[in-house]
Each structure stands twice: as C-alpha cells, then as structure tokens.
Amino acid sequence: MLRLIWIASIHTGVFLRAWMPSNIILDRIRTRQGLKWGIPAMGLAIPYFAVAYWCTTLIDAGAPGWLHLIVLACLWSAFKFLIMGPISVVYLIRIRLTRNDRRESVQPATA
C-alpha cells in the first residue's frame, strides 16, 4: 500500500510539473535568460490570490466544499511566485559576481 501511494505521488508530481501553468512559468524563470523576469512575475501572484478569494466567497455562500482544493492550489501557486522574485534576484547577483570573477582571473596583470 505504501508503494502504491509513493508511486501515485511521483506520477502526480510529474504531471503537475509538466501541465500546471505556474510550474511551467517558474521553470522558465529559473533558466539563465529568465532570471530577469523574477520580479515582474511576482505580479502573477495577484490573480491567484483573487481566484482564491473568489472561491472562498463562493464557499461561504454555499458552494461545494471541493472548492477548498482550488483555494489551496491557488494560494500555493501565489506564494511560489512571491518567493521566486527575491530568489531570482539572488541567483542573478550570484551569476553576475561569478562572471566578473572569471573575467578578472582571465585578464593578465599589467605591470
């Protein structure tokens, strides 16, 4: 039984990694060329928070309880975008610093 749960969670993770729009965008941001889009991508958290709020108002008005899953998924995606902004800035700074270090080590010293 534990093996079945383990395999199901792996397949679910692979499916979500490939087909969830937030995961696709975040994978693009994590590339070398996409790091500059980390801060603007934080704005994508706003629609996710809006959908989560809208679903909670629907739930309070008597909508089905399965909407809690949508609220959870939207909040999770929103927080991923909020966290990715500062992380991308740190990665971008680290890459630029290592690139400058490489340039300095390659240039010959002038006397």
How confident is residue 108, by pLDDT bands cut at 50, 70 and 90?
Answer: low
Residue 51 lies in a domain: yes
How confident is residue 109, by pLDDT bands cut at 50, 70 and 90?
Answer: low
Strand boundaries in 26-88, DSSP class E? none
Q: 26 is in which domain, residue-wise?
A: 2-106
pTM above 0.85, yes or no: no
CA distance 51 to 55: 6
Question: Residue 18 pLDDT more than 60?
Answer: yes
| Neighbouring C-beta atoms of residue 76, cutoff 10 Å | 13
Residue pair 77/47 in contact (Cβ under 8 Å)? The answer is no
CA distance 109 to 99: 18
Residue 91 lies in a domain: yes
Residue 111 lies in a domain: no
Question: Residue 87 pLDDT more than 90?
Answer: yes
Residue pair 16/23 in contact (Cβ under 8 Å)? The answer is yes
Residue 63 lies in a domain: yes
How confident is residue 16, by pLDDT bands cut at 50, 70 and 90?
Answer: confident
Residue 75 lies in a domain: yes
Residue 10 lies in a domain: yes
3-state class percentages of the chain: helix first, strand second, coil last, to nearest 5? 85, 0, 15
45-66 per-position pLDDT tens digit: 999 999 999 999 999 999 999 9
Task: Please report the sign of the dihedral spanned by the C-alpha atoms of residue 104, residue 34, residue 53, residue 50.
Answer: positive
Total domain count for the chain? 1
Residue in this structure with the two tokens 């800035």, named with its chain if needed? 89
